[in-house]
A and B are shown apart, each in its own frame.
Chain A
């Protein structure tokens, strides 16, 4: 397991990557990306059992599906720094002829990506299908997935959530990024969803809450506990309470940076709050 220092360094470096990627093309989604940085770093560097290289079928390893595809900057940075493709390629984010499309896709053959996402609400179904394929293959590894909280407004999620417990899909840990924000404002102003915890529980899921979703230790402990509940006949959900824009003070606690890139001055401030650790791409 990597040291806590290394994970911290990696987290800061991923933040820098996110800011520089969206700044360069003046587009992309920094807010949710920054909010999920610790989670994705922990997932790919500690939590998941992964094989070297990339094979689409992913037999004999844990798999991850990103449903809220707009946080592609964080996903790409973590994938690159986990060795799936050269970190220099982060330079091509959202550029013509790039494998790093605005939203993740398998279409250009980017290693580490197993499904296209961006049109919201589809990842839960895909993750469950992959989980059932693992069961058919007698492969005792876990499927992880990440979804936005606003994304739960898409009805397909609830078809999938109902299905998961009905079919005892107990080799999945679906994490909800509970940052309380979406494009038009807070989730409570756009479309209040009530208690997401109670909803998942009513649909027969085991639910864990990670109160400090931007704290690496809290994430590792919470996910470890969640993993201990897999294989018991029920799907597992983690409600990860994060702060959108975490780590860049002026981007925090607001939906304003959901899909907006920093200008030169804002980039400089953001980078100064996250000094280079492992080396910029």
Chain B
């Protein structure tokens, strides 16, 4: 079984900052906007090197989304930066009308998504953002798993024409994907080969899925772990190919199971290949204050939960 290791932990938001800084050098049309969270979004380097291409909008996210839509008219590629909650729920209608329906080339970059935002609590821990964004026609939705992948995704979305929601997080997590990876929107990455169960994970849950696969291997269950960084468009082929072999699947995400990755996968399976599925995600609940690790444990979003769901789903075959 292929195993993954890491030598350091870094936050995915720093991957965004690094990717944005590189775009500052390579793509003169890229501009950035931020609603008073430069430090949190790690946008300092881009701003330092491209002050004329950065717009501090203050605590006014609705205005930020409209400005971004307007900046595309004239050929700019705007990247907006704020927390996931303020990037989506707070400004849903602005994104819907001025960006998605208008077909504007805006990149909505959202940090501090999910429970791992931690101590600030439920007001800031959005668990519904991927659902909100994937429902918008034409919106591409991406949730990256580590520093390197977030950096690669940030660079890749600048080359994609159309609105994109890029979701990443706050805590330092293992860096285990290659620094030189080519990020292909909509293309799942198979991390381990397995024959007994497919684990499709996104964001911070990808590392947890790899950890779970080690435990499952020791227990005689061979897990195929797929990193599905793009929630929409979903790599249906990769999912269907894998379950054709394994016959069951666990989906894992730092998001409400209502409206998340798991439901997108379930739709694909019910249409093409009905397959037993278990869901790792929050279950129709808000979060609360706590450390990221405590919260992920309490709400069942860690490797322990993935192992448990995998053992359950294998028995349902």
Chain B residues with CB under 8 Å of A44's CB are none
Report yes or no: A122 in contact with B67, Cβ–Cβ below 8 A.
no
Chain A residues with CB under 8 Å of B69's CB are 115, 125-126, 129
Chain B residues with CB under 8 Å of A125's CB are 62-67, 69-70, 94, 98
Contact mask for chain B residues 55-99; partner A; CB cutoff 8 A; 1 contact, 0 none = 101101011111111111111101000000000000001101110
Does B103 sit within 8 A of A, measured CB to CB? yes
Does B52 sit within 8 A of A, measured CB to CB? yes
Given A107-B103, A163-B58, A167-B55: A131 and B70 interface contact (C-beta under 8 Å): yes
Report yes or no: B74 in contact with A116, Cβ–Cβ below 8 A.
no
Chain A residues with CB under 8 Å of B55's CB are 132, 167
Given A125-B66, A136-B53: A107 and B102 interface contact (C-beta under 8 Å): yes
Report yes or no: B62 in contact with A156, Cβ–Cβ below 8 A.
yes
Determine the distance from Cα of A132 to Cα of B74 in the docked complex, in whole angstroms. 9
Does A58 sit within 8 A of B, measured CB to CB? yes
Does B212 sit within 8 A of A, measured CB to CB? no
8 Å CB interface, B259-305 against A: none
Determine the distance from Cα of A146 to Cα of B103 in the docked complex, in whole angstroms. 21
| Distance in Å: Cβ of A99 to nearest Cβ of chain B | 14
Chain A residues with CB under 8 Å of B62's CB are 122, 125, 155-156, 159
Chain A residues with CB under 8 Å of B127's CB are none
Report yes or no: B70 in contact with A130, Cβ–Cβ below 8 A.
yes
Report yes or no: B97 in contact with A119, Cβ–Cβ below 8 A.
yes
Does A25 sit within 8 A of B, measured CB to CB? no
Chain B residues with CB under 8 Å of A63's CB are 73
Does B101 sit within 8 A of A, measured CB to CB? yes
Does B31 sit within 8 A of A, measured CB to CB? yes
Report yes or no: B66 in contact with A124, Cβ–Cβ below 8 A.
yes
Report yes or no: A163 in contact with B57, Cβ–Cβ below 8 A.
yes
Chain A residues with CB under 8 Å of B101's CB are 105-107, 116
Does A57 sit within 8 A of B, measured CB to CB? yes
Which of the four size classes fits the interface of chain B?
Answer: 20 to 34
Q: Give the total of A residues in contact with B, Cβ under 8 Å.
A: 39
Determine the distance from Cα of A106 to Cα of B162 in the docked complex, in whole angstroms. 13
Pick the contact of A56: B52, B63, B73, B93 (CB < 8 A): B73
Determine the distance from Cα of A139 to Cα of B71 in the docked complex, in whole angstroms. 13
Residue of B nearest to A107 (CB): B101
Chain A residues with CB under 8 Å of B57's CB are 159, 163
Determine the distance from Cα of A136 to Cα of B30 in the docked complex, in whole angstroms. 11
Determine the distance from Cα of A162 to Cα of B63 in the docked complex, in whole angstroms. 10
Report yes or no: A117 in contact with B74, Cβ–Cβ below 8 A.
no
| Distance in Å: Cβ of B97 to nearest Cβ of chain A | 5
Contact mask for chain A residues 220-241; partner B; CB cutoff 8 A; 1 contact, 0 none = 0000000000000000000000
| Distance in Å: Cβ of A62 to nearest Cβ of chain B | 13
Residue of A nearest to B52 (CB): A136
Contact mask for chain A residues 30-61; partner B; CB cutoff 8 A; 1 contact, 0 none = 00000000000000000000000000111100
Contact mask for chain A residues 90-132; partner B; CB cutoff 8 A; 1 contact, 0 none = 0000000000000001110000001111110011111111111
Report yes or no: B93 in contact with A119, Cβ–Cβ below 8 A.
yes
Does A160 sit within 8 A of B, measured CB to CB? yes
Residue of B nearest to A119 (CB): B97
Determine the distance from Cα of A58 to Cα of B76 in the docked complex, in whole angstroms. 12
Pick the contact of B70: A119, A132, A139 (CB < 8 A): A132
Given A107-B102, A163-B57: A156 and B70 interface contact (C-beta under 8 Å): no
Chain B residues with CB under 8 Å of A131's CB are 70
Chain A residues with CB under 8 Å of B58's CB are 159, 162-163, 166
Determine the distance from Cα of A151 to Cα of B172 in the docked complex, in whole angstroms. 44
Chain A residues with CB under 8 Å of B67's CB are 125-126, 128-129, 132, 160, 163
Report yes or no: A137 in contact with B103, Cβ–Cβ below 8 A.
no
Chain B residues with CB under 8 Å of A124's CB are 66
8 Å CB interface, A126-168 against B: 126-134, 136-137, 139, 155-156, 159-160, 162-163, 166-167
Determine the distance from Cα of A126 to Cα of B55 in the docked complex, in whole angstroms. 14
Chain B residues with CB under 8 Å of A116's CB are 97-98, 101-102
Given A107-B103, A163-B58: A130 and B73 interface contact (C-beta under 8 Å): yes
Chain A residues with CB under 8 Å of B103's CB are 106-107
- Quick one: which of B52, B65, B75, B102 has the most chain A CB within 10 A? B102
Report yes or no: B97 in contact with A130, Cβ–Cβ below 8 A.
no
Given A106-B103, A162-B60, A167-B55: A122 and B98 interface contact (C-beta under 8 Å): yes
Determine the distance from Cα of A131 to Cα of B72 in the docked complex, in whole angstroms. 11
Report yes or no: B31 in contact with A136, Cβ–Cβ below 8 A.
yes
Determine the distance from Cα of A22 to Cα of B70 in the docked complex, in whole angstroms. 30
Report yes or no: B76 in contact with A136, Cβ–Cβ below 8 A.
yes
Pick the contact of B73: A133, A155, A160, A167 (CB < 8 A): A133
Report yes or no: A130 in contact with B71, Cβ–Cβ below 8 A.
yes
Determine the distance from Cα of A129 to Cα of B71 in the docked complex, in whole angstroms. 5
Pick the contact of A130: B53, B74, B94 (CB < 8 A): B74
Q: Which 8 residue pairs spanning A and B have beta carbons closest together?
A: A129-B70, A125-B66, A133-B74, A159-B63, A159-B60, A129-B67, A130-B70, A126-B70
Beyond A125-B64, A163-B60, list 5 extra A-B contacts (CB 8 Å).
A56-B73, A119-B97, A122-B62, A125-B63, A159-B58
Instruction: Supply 13 A–B pairs (Cβ within 8 Å), ascending by A.
Output: A107-B101, A125-B62, A125-B65, A126-B67, A126-B69, A129-B78, A132-B67, A136-B53, A136-B74, A156-B63, A159-B57, A159-B58, A163-B60
